[in-house]
């Protein structure tokens, strides 16, 4: 399995190099090469998810390697995030209009490098490699925003980079001190960077002597604060979300898809992978410091979205709301709540990915993202309307969609421990439904009206994008169909998702890395856990 994961991470990097070598003078060829590599990565991740045995990672072996070779660990927590990353990158490459981007080869190479970094972040269990891949993703997004974004792309890219640099710096400092603490308490002759080893050995080391216990009591809260706050910026948790809107609005559409659909998932993944297993006591005692900002962010994001006419700004604000809703499930400390939080992460990425692909199609044809500029598009663009309906249906949690299952499981998990926060999530869902129904009615209902696409201030480069007219074409349908299938498959058969996640989540709840005596199943018989 280690060789397979290594090949999976290297595959997009090989694609990026191939695109740079063979696609500089041929944008269409560059897109074809990138699509081939992303499709191969997608098939590989789906195969890993389907064939993954939840019990296979029960007794992990610890590598003594400090940096090389990298070590990997696939379990229920990260296997679906790998699939999500591959799905969104595949869609991002396909929605790219090659004629609209200068140096399409560099643009696609950045997307493929971003995919490689995300796959590495989610798959590695070595802390140094985790931060290395995390920085790779930040740099790739920085160039995507700064190089191919909107008119204010450079200030937005710098703001994005500096804010997230603070977050990764705090997390790096906390994890570095954690590794040193393990080294000092163990008296070992060498450091360990293996996350599973740190999680499994720290409780025994703390209890081994009174000196260790006293030392850990003095430093535990500081470690918790550094790691927790660093990932909170990445989530982004209210009020640390202020970097997201500028980055999302100025990013190119494919960059927006990767930013909101996959990249911000690193924050919640980091909490689930590091914070909850390493500090189970503090996560319970100090859960309110995460739940209250999450509850505020859930409502605040939707309220901002309600007054937005720009579809990109609407997407950015709803991202804050949905991410905050996932935090509620994560800190419910219940089996159903954490499983639901994982599903909410993936469902949000899939559903919002569909909406972003629609935004890309509208912008490609009409050079505007203002919902007010459209009316009655369903009569002329039925495929566009149908695709939008599926994405919106999942975002407002209609039955038979992944969003419905995610919302139900998170709400039930939170309601068992914090009923008031569950009500907050449901209020946000009602507001979100109102928001999307207004947009859908405005854009696709009523008398047909489309924007005038000729504008005297457009450059030839801007005007050429309007060569694509009519309904969604084959390339655009190929981008959204895998996302639609994933949304519907999870909605119809959620046990396909939960059967992979429940074992890993149960071990986190049990506060140990060994499997519990009896792993409870997330099914219709115990959804009220």
DSSP H helical ranges for 260-287: 265-270, 276-278, 280-285
What pTM was computed for the model?
A: 0.88
Residues paired with residue 310 on neighbouring β-strands, in sequence order? 370
Residues 215-220, mean pLDDT to the nearest whole number: 88
Helix (H) or strand (E) holding 428: helix 419-444
C-alpha triplet 299, 304, 308: angle, nearest 5°: 145
**Residue 242 — pLDDT band, cuts 50, 70, 90?**
confident
C-alpha to C-alpha distance for 387 and 380, rounded to whole angstroms: 14
Residues 383-408, mean pLDDT to the nearest whole number: 92
Tens digit of each residue's pLDDT (9 = 90 or more) over 307-334:
888 888 888 888 999 999 999 989 888 8
Tens digit of each residue's pLDDT (9 = 90 or more) over 437-485:
888 888 888 787 777 655 555 555 555 444 456 788 888 899 999 999 9
Nearest Cα neighbor of 270 from 77, 61, 66, 87 is: 77
Residues 267-295, mean pLDDT to the nearest whole number: 89
**Residue 519 — pLDDT band, cuts 50, 70, 90?**
very low
Tokens of 57: 């990672």
Find tokens 């269409």 and name the residue.
28
What is the reported pLDDT for 58? Answer: 41
Tens digit of each residue's pLDDT (9 = 90 or more) over 381-392:
889 999 999 999
Nearest Cα neighbor of 251 from 84, 395, 110 is: 110
Percent of the chain with pLDDT over 70: 89
What is the reported pLDDT for 56? Answer: 65
Between 457 and 216, name the one with better pLDDT: 216
CB-CB contact of 275 with 224 (8 Å): yes
CB-CB contact of 175 with 162 (8 Å): no
CB-CB contact of 110 with 251 (8 Å): no
C-alpha to C-alpha distance for 276 and 284, rounded to whole angstroms: 9
For the cut 80, the answer to whether the pLDDT of residue 503 exceeds it is yes
* 113-to-15, 109, 240, 263 alpha-carbon distances in Å: 9, 6, 27, 13
**Residue 520 — pLDDT band, cuts 50, 70, 90?**
very low
Residues 202-227, mean pLDDT to the nearest whole number: 88
Nearest Cα neighbor of 334 from 81, 505, 513, 128 is: 505
Tens digit of each residue's pLDDT (9 = 90 or more) over 40-98:
999 999 998 888 877 765 434 444 456 667 788 888 888 999 999 999 999 999 988 75
Q: What is the average pLDDT value for the chain, to the nearest integer?
A: 84
Least confident of 78-92, 262-276, 280-294, 458-472: 458-472
For the cut 70, the answer to whether the pLDDT of residue 336 exceeds it is yes
Cβ-based neighbour number of residue 400 at 10 Å:
13
Q: Could you tell me which residues come within 8 angstroms of residue 14 by beta carbon, excluding any fewer than 6 positions away? A: 37
Tens digit of each residue's pLDDT (9 = 90 or more) over 173-197:
999 999 898 888 887 767 788 888 8
CA distance from start to end of the chain = 33
For the cut 50, the answer to whether the pLDDT of residue 524 exceeds it is no
What is the reported pLDDT for 452? Answer: 63
């Amino acid at each position: 399995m280690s060789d397979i994961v290594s090949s999976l991470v290297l595959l997009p990097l090989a694609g990026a190099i191939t695109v740079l070598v063979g696609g500089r003078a041929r944008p269409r060829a560059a897109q074809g090469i990138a699509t081939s590599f992303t499709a191969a990565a997608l098939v590989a991740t789906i195969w890993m998810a389907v064939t993954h045995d939840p019990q296979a990672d029960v007794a992990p072996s610890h590598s003594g390697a400090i940096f090389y070779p990298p070590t990997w660990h696939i379990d229920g927590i990260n296997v679906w995030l790998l699939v999500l990353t591959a799905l969104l990158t595949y869609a991002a490459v396909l929605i790219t209009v090659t004629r609209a981007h200068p140096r399409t080869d560099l643009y696609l190479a950045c997307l493929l490098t971003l995919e490689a970094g995300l796959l590495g972040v989610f798959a590695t269990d070595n802390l140094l490699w985790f931060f290395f891949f995390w920085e790779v993703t930040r740099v790739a997004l920085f160039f995507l925003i700064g190089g191919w974004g909107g008119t204010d792309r450079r200030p937005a890219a710098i703001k994005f980079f500096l804010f997230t640099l603070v977050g990764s710096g705090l997390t790096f400092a906390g994890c570095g001190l954690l590794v040193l603490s393990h080294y000092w308490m163990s008296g070992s002759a060498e450091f360990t960077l293996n996350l599973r080893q740190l999680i499994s050995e720290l409780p025994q080391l703390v209890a081994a002597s009174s000196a260790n216990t006293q030392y850990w009591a003095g430093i535990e809260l500081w470690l918790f604060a550094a790691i927790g706050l660093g990932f909170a910026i990445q989530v982004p948790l209210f009020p640390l979300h202020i970097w997201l809107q500028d980055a999302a609005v100025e990013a190119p559409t494919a960059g927006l898809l990767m930013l909101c659909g996959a990249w911000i998932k690193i924050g919640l993944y980091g909490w689930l992978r590091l914070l909850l297993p390493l500090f189970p006591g503090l996560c319970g005692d100090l859960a309110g410091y995460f739940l209250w900002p999450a509850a505020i962010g859930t409502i605040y994001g939707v309220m901002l979205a309600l007054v937005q006419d720009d579809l990109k700004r609407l997407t950015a604000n709803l991202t804050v709301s949905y991410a905050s809703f996932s935090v509620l499930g994560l800190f419910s400390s219940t089996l159903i709540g954490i499983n639901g939080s994982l599903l909410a992460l993936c469902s949000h990425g899939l559903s919002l990915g569909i909406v972003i692909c629609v935004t890309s199609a509208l912008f490609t044809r009409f050079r505007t993202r203002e919902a007010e500029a459209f009316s009655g598009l369903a009569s002329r663009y039925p495929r566009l309307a149908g695709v939008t309906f599926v994405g919106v249906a999942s975002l407002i949690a209609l039955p038979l969609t992944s969003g419905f299952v995610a919302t139900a499981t998170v709400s039930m998990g939170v309601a068992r421990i914090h009923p008031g926060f569950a009500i907050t999530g449901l209020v946000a869902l009602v507001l979100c439904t109102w928001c999307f129904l207004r947009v859908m009615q405005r854009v696709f209902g009523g008398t047909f009206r489309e924007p005038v696409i000729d504008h005297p201030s457009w450059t030839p480069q801007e005007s050429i994008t309007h060569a694509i007219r009519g309904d969604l074409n084959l390339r655009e349908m190929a981008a959204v169909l895998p996302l639609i299938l994933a949304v519907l498959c999870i909605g119809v058969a959620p046990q396909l998702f939960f059967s992979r996640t429940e074992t890993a989540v149960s071990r986190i709840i049990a506060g140990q890395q060994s499997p519990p005596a009896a792993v409870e199943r997330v099914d219709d018989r115990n959804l009220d856990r």
